[in-house]
Every structure is written in C-alpha cells, then in structure tokens.
Amino acid sequence: MTDNDLRTLLRDAADEVSVPRLATDELHLRVRAVRRRRRARWAAGAAALAIAGALGTYALSGTLGGDEPHIAAAEGDPRGWAVAEGGSVHFGDGSVVTYGGTVNDLRYTSVGLLARSTQSNARLSLITTAGVQPLDLGDVSDRLIGTDPDSPYVSWTVEGGDGWLVRVIDLVTGEKVADVPISGKYTWAGWKTPPVAVDGEHAYVALDDRTLDVEWRAGKVSTAKGLPGSYTTEVLNGRAVTQDATGETQRVVEVATGQVLLTTRSTEFPDDLIRLKLSPDGTHALAAPYSTCDEHDNCRYDTPTAPIHDLGQGTETAVELGDHIGWAPGGQLIRASGTKVEICDQVGKECADTPVTLKKRADTISGTMNQS
C-alpha cells in the first residue's frame, strides 16, 4: 500500500462515516455566545488602551526628551534578539545574517540564538550577529529541546537502557555535560522521546503521569511539584505556564512550590483560545491569541490587542500585537508589523523603532518555541 492508496482508503473510510444533520439552533447559540464575549472583550480592551495611551503620553513627555532612544536597554544587548524573514535573520542592531534555509524558530541561549530550519529539524545552528555556526550535536530530529535564555545549556532526551537519558550540552564547548537516566511511561505526545524544558541546572521532562525535575549537575531526579504530567511548557526563572484538565484555565506557577501567580480563563477571550507566554525573566505574561493563516501563509493574530500581566504588581495592560509579538531576552517586547520592527518596554507602552527593515513581513520572531 502506498501513500496514494492510503489517501484513497482514508477518503473512502471517511465517506462511510455517518454525518449527523447540522444542528443550526445549537450553532446559532454558539455564534451568539462568541459575539457576546467578543463585544465584552473589545469594550474592555478599548478602555484599557485609552487609559494606557494617556499614561504613555504623560510618561514620554515627562521622562524622555529630544531624540533620545526610548528604550536604552535595547542598545548594545550582548545576547541580541532577531526576527527572521525567509532565510535572513535580522538582529535588533540592524545586522543581517543569512541562514542556510528558512528559519523555523530562534530559541534564546546566553551565547546566541539556537535555530532549526523549516526544512529539517535534525540539526541545530547557533546564530549571533557574527554569523551562523552549524552545530554537530547529533540528530535531534523530532525532539522537543529545552533551552534557557540565561545559560549556554541545551537539553533533550535520547533512548537509553529501559528509559531515556536526559542529555545536556554546553554550547560554549559543544561538550556533553550530563546524561542523567530517567524512566517512566511516555505515550502522551508525538515526539520521539519525552520533551524537555531547561531552567539553569534543572531539566523538566514531561512523562504521562508526572513531570520529572532533573537536577542534571547533581544527577538527582524527583517529581516537579508545580507541573502536571502529559503537558510540556517552558520554565523561565523558576516559573511556568500550566493548564487545568479542561484546558479552559491557564496558570502561571512557581515550579518548585506549585504556588499560583496568575490565573486566566480562555472563555474570557473571543476565540476561547489563548496561550500565556512568559517573559524570559518570568515577571510578565502575555496572553496571546492564536494566529490564523490565509492561503498565502500570511498569518495574523485573531485579535488586534492582548493583555500583558505584570505578575509582581498584579496589573494588566492591553498591548497592540502587530503581525508578531514576542519577548527579547532582556524582557522587552519585540513587535513586528509589516516591514517595521519595534522594541517596547515590558508592557508595550513605550516603543522605539529599530534599524530592522524587512522586505514584506516577519515569518518568525526570536524566543518563539515553534514546535507544536
């Protein structure tokens, strides 16, 4: 049987599936519910933007003068952030590096951006403003790797014994610094081996019934208190995003203790779909909507604004999303809209243009884990 046979058989099998009548009454009820939520959200967002706009104007006139850049921290960032358009990686300082392929994602490490291409996920490359360094770390295809914006360590799992090894590589030397054996049941995700998140000297490995906290330097393995099983997430500065069994509620938690810092409910959003995305220092969380793509692969967020939560202050601010929005390693926001890329403060109020000029629009923004 070839793939064409499979295609035919699958279509034939699907054609045999009995399709019930569309319950239009139920659909109308759901449409009305979506519209109600949408209206409520727009009203709240407009009010927040109006308040934030007034405060932003005051801040700009009161604290910044002349041609001074609005965001001093955006200059001379040694670790750099970037947006990718096709095979070109545009750093925030205006330098452009050509990558050998189309960039799929750019993950932060303390020594550069760790990249994989859209064409192959087997090999990693390290990208800095100085250029691209292909890494010879073996085949990492179809593994969810863990990176840490504040360290040079990258981790993934490999088969080993009756379970797996949590492998940690130091990108400074290219050397393996740990192979910690773990065991358990892993069936929940489609990756070849269990997915990993890295935060300093901790690696978090998501199994079916629990997430393991692997202190890789010490070789100690325990169960992470704040993370469930069958769910993978980034861990940033000891914090992570989790979601409940229904998927409607997402939380930011302290991984070590399970303490909840923020709770959001997707039903409060127009499409019932959001992803909380933590800033690299774990102090802020962006509740980003999903993006949808047209037939030309031009993708847009489903809403023009989204809330950013300050986890320390407990406040919420609406930010305009542009085409892509993400976090820079220093905690600022990167916003790409068409050919323009801006760098903004942590709540997206004070923004400054950057030297980055794109041809059409960004495909990818650094710090995005683009491996569903």
Partner 1 sequence: MARPPTQEQFDEFAQVAWPRLYRSAYLLVGDHASAEDLVQTALAKTFGNWGRVRTLEAAPAYARQVLFNTAMSWFRKASWNREQPTEVLPDLGQDSDPTTRSVLLDAVAALPPRQRAVVVLRFYEDLDVRRTAALLGCSEGTVKSQTSFALDKLRTILGDPTLTLEVTQ
How many other C-beta atoms lie within 10 A of the C-beta of residue 25? 8
Contact 174, 137 (CB under 8 A): yes
Binding mask 12-31 for partner 1 (x = CB under 8 A): xxxxxx-xx-xxx-xxx-xx
Contact 231, 197 (CB under 8 A): no
| Residue 4 makes contact with partner 1 by CB under 8 A | yes
Contact 320, 348 (CB under 8 A): yes
| Residue 360 makes contact with partner 1 by CB under 8 A | no
Residues 193-212 that bind partner 1 (CB under 8 A): 208
| Residue 40 makes contact with partner 1 by CB under 8 A | no
Q: Cβ of residue 78: shortest distance to partner 1, in angstroms?
A: 28
Q: Cβ of residue 76: shortest distance to partner 1, in angstroms?
A: 32
Backbone conformation region of residue 66, classed left if phi is above 0, alpha if psi is from -120 to 50, else beta = left
Among 69-77, 170-178, 188-196, 327-335, the segment contacting partner 1 (CB under 8 A): 188-196
Closer to partner 1 by Cβ: residue 116 or 277: 116
Where are the extended beta strands (E) located within 7-128? 82-85, 88-91, 96-98, 103-109, 112-117, 125-128
C-alpha distances (whole Å) from 298 to each of 185, 292, 301, 360 are 39, 8, 10, 10
| Residue 249 makes contact with partner 1 by CB under 8 A | no
Binding mask 115-154 for partner 1 (x = CB under 8 A): -xxxxxxx------------------xx------------
Closest by Cα among 5, 54, 99, 12 to 366: 99
Residues 299-358 that bind partner 1 (CB under 8 A): 299-300, 302
Q: What secondary structure letter does DSSP report for 270?
A: T
Binding mask 224-243 for partner 1 (x = CB under 8 A): ----xxxx-----------x
Q: Which of 67, 68, 136, 295 is the binder for partner 1 (CB under 8 A)?
A: 295
Q: What secondary structure letter does DSSP report for 20?
A: P
Closer to partner 1 by Cβ: residue 117 or 354: 117
Q: Cβ of residue 290: shortest distance to partner 1, in angstroms?
A: 5
Contact 350, 56 (CB under 8 A): yes
